[in-house]
Amino acid sequence: MFSIPGKPPVTITPAAEARIARLMADRKAQGLRIGLKKGGCAGMEYTMELADAASPGDEVVEQGAARVLIAPTAQMFLFGTQIDYQTGLLDSGFKFVNPNVTDTCGCGESIRFEPIALPPAG
C-alpha cells in the first residue's frame, strides 16, 4: 500500500464508521471491501461489497467496529481518501472525498484520475 507510517491510507468519518459497522453486523460480514472498476462517463467507478474475509493483498483499515478492506488494484488511487456517509432528503449513501480525483461526471457517479507517467523504456 502507498502509505505513510502511522497514518491510515483512508480516513473514516464517524457517520461512515457507524454505517459500516451496522452493515457488517446485519450481514455478519468481516468488512466492507472498496475498489475501482472501469465504467461511467468519466472512466472509473467506486465499488463496494461486504466481504466474508480479507483477500490476499487487501489493505485493512479498522476503526471502532468498522473494517474497510481496500482492494490491491485500488490502493494507489484511494490513498488520502476520506470515506463519509451522508443522509439527505432524497438519498443516502457513502461519499468519497478523494484528493486523487481530477474530474467527475455530471451525475457524480464516475471519476477520472490523471494517467500515471511511466519512465521511458530502455
Please indicate whether residue 43 or residue 48 has the higher confidence score (pLDDT). 48
Where does the pLDDT of residue 61 fall: very low under 50, low under 70, confident under 90, or very high at 90 and above?
very high
80-114: pLDDT as tens digits: 889 999 998 888 999 988 887 765 665 556 555 66
Tell the residue number behind the cell numbers 470515506, with chain if given. 83
Paired sense of beta strands 59-63 and 111-113, if any = unpaired
> What is the per-residue pLDDT for 104?
65
- On whether residue 22 sits in a domain, the answer given is yes
Q: Work out whether the CA dihedral 71, 74, 80, 86 comes out positive or negative.
A: negative
- On whether residue 32 sits in a domain, the answer given is yes
- Residue 46's Cβ-count burial label (10 Å; 0-12, 13-18, 19+) is buried
> What is the per-residue pLDDT for 42?
54
22-42: pLDDT as tens digits: 999 999 999 999 998 887 665
> What is the per-residue pLDDT for 69?
97
- On whether residue 67 sits in a domain, the answer given is yes
Domain extent for 68 = 10-99
Q: Name the domain count of the chain.
A: 1
6-26: pLDDT as tens digits: 778 899 999 999 999 999 999
Domain of 32, CATH number, reads 2.60.300.12
- On whether residue 106 sits in a domain, the answer given is no
> What is the per-residue pLDDT for 41?
62
Q: Considering the chain, what is the average pLDDT of its residues?
A: 83
Tell the residue number behind the cell numbers 454505517, with chain if given. 19
- On whether residue 92 sits in a domain, the answer given is yes
- On whether residue 2 sits in a domain, the answer given is no
- On whether residue 30 sits in a domain, the answer given is yes
Please indicate whether residue 54 or residue 110 has the higher confidence score (pLDDT). 54
